[in-house]
């Protein structure tokens, strides 16, 4: 395996940050759906008694982790769409013919897209404050950032792995819909997984987003279905496995630079 080129990773990250700053409308547009879930669903059910949620926890506090998880999932998975666009526009081919190892390009894409996802997630977190959500202390906020990073890495690896084996942008959204929505609805983002039937509850245990949302919820409001260290360990294993697969598919993809 070739050595990692940190300068190339930084350049790819800087390119993404400049694009984010230049096209602010994309940032605002990607925030609309999670913001609407937080405002309408959170405020609409804030005073409702949802089974499985502790009585001293408001619904908007409970779903904050779920909305952040949704933001990370959707933005990270559709990071694979950027890879396909760059392939069609010819930018990826120019990068591939350079002496930069494919591993460095993959890491650069993951780091750049995850930074964007984390920025948007922090904005959602700040949006919750005027709606009644209590911002966590510094220590818990750093823990939240850590879980955001691992969750984003996990699904960026998955998105890039899938897009590495696709040739056009038309089929990617269709494939993503079959992947994203089961992951999202089985994660316990908007309801406790303990309230689900046994069959669905069993499926939740195989969903990496379940542990991302649960870890975020534990860090934000100290409410969780699993111990915090357990969620961290399982999510980290999912992340390492998916990143390893993503790197392999990206490095061995013969048509990525074509």
The domain locations on the chain are 6-252
- Predicted confidence at residue 1, as pLDDT, reads 45
**46 close to 132: Cβ distance less than 8 angstroms:** yes
Q: Of all helices (H) and strands (E), which one includes residue 217?
A: helix 208-221
Q: What is the pTM of this model?
A: 0.87
Cα–Cα distance between 72 and 7 in angstroms, integer?
26
- Using alpha carbons only, give the angle 54, 191, 52 rounded to the nearest 5 degrees: 30
Mean pLDDT by 10 residues, the chain (258 residues): 71 81 74 84 74 81 91 83 69 66 81 88 90 84 93 89 75 80 90 87 93 94 91 95 87 60
Please state, in angstroms and as integers, the Cα–Cα distance from residue 166 to each residue in 63, 110, 162, 245, 251, following that order: 34, 18, 7, 15, 14
Q: Is 57 exposed, middle or buried (0-12, 13-18, 19+ CB in 10 A)?
A: middle
- Predicted confidence at residue 216, as pLDDT, reads 95
Q: What is the SS3 assignment for 55-86?
A: CCCCHHHHHHHHHHHHHHHHHHHCHHHHHHHH
Cα–Cα distance between 109 and 129 in angstroms, integer?
31
Q: Could you read off the pLDDT of 172-227 as tens digits, one per residue?
A: 777 778 888 899 999 988 888 888 888 889 999 999 999 999 999 999 998 888 99
Q: What is the DSSP string of 5-41?
A: -HHHHHHHHHHHHHHHHH-HHHHHHHHHHHHHIIIII
- Predicted confidence at residue 18, as pLDDT, reads 83
User: How many Cα atoms occupy the beta-carbon half-sphere of 182 within 13 Å?
Assistant: 12
């Amino acid at each position: 395996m070739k050595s990692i080129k940190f300068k190339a990773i930084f350049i790819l990250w800087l390119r993404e940050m400049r694009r984010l700053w230049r096209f602010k409308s994309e940032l605002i547009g990607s925030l609309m759906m999670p913001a609407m879930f937080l405002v309408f669903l959170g405020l609409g059910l804030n005073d409702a008694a949802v089974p499985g949620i502790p009585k001293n926890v408001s619904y908007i506090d409970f779903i904050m982790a779920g909305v952040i998880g949704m933001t990370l999932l959707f933005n990270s998975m559709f990071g694979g769409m950027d890879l396909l666009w760059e392939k069609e526009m010819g930018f990826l081919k120019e990068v591939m013919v350079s002496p930069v190892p494919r591993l460095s390009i993959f890491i650069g894409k993951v780091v750049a897209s995850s930074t964007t996802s984390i920025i948007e997630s922090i904005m959602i977190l700040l949006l919750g404050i005027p709606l009644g959500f209590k911002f966590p202390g510094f220590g818990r906020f750093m823990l939240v950032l850590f879980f955001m990073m691992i969750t984003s890495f996990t699904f960026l690896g998955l998105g890039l792995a899938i897009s590495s084996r696709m040739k056009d942008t038309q089929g990617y959204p269709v494939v993503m819909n079959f992947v994203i929505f089961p992951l999202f609805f089985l994660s316990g983002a908007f309801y406790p997984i303990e309230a689900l039937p046994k069959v669905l509850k069993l499926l939740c245990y195989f969903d990496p987003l379940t542990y991302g949302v649960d870890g975020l919820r534990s860090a934000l409001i100290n409410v969780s279905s699993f111990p915090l260290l357990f969620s961290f360990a399982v999510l980290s294993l999912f992340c390492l496995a998916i990143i390893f697969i993503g790197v392999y598919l990206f490095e061995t993809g013969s048509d990525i630079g074509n």
